[in-house]
Amino acid sequence: MKYIYSKEKIDAAMKRLRRFRTFKAYISEHFAGGKDTVIEVCGIDDDRKEGWEKIDKVNKILSDLLGEDAYLECHDHCCHYCYIGTDERAEKGSEHDPIRLNGGNLEDYPNKIIYQVQQLWKQLAENKGDEGTCVLGEKLNFSYQGKHYSMIPLDRCQGSLSRESYLKTIESLLESIGCGDLRFDWGIMD
Do 120 and 76 sit in the same domain of this protein? Answer: no
Q: What is the pLDDT of residues 137-190, one digit of tens each?
A: 788 999 999 999 999 888 888 888 998 999 999 999 999 999 999 999 887 776
Last residue of a domain, which of 86, 115, 138? 86
Alpha-carbon distance 49 to 71, whole Å? Answer: 18
Last residue of a domain, which of 38, 62, 86? 86
Specify the higher pLDDT residue, 62 or 175. 175
Question: Do you know the residue count of the chain?
Answer: 190
Minimal CA–CA distance to 147: which of 76, 95, 84, 69? 95
Alpha-carbon distance 121 to 177, whole Å? Answer: 16
25 alpha carbon, distance to own chain's centre:
18
In a domain, 73, yes or no: yes
Residue 34: give the domain boundaries.
Answer: 2-86
Do 78 and 110 sit in the same domain of this protein? Answer: no
Spatial strand order in the sheet of 147-151:
99-101, 147-151, 139-144, 180-185
pTM beyond 0.85: no
Q: Are 145 and 178 in contact (CB under 8 A)?
A: yes
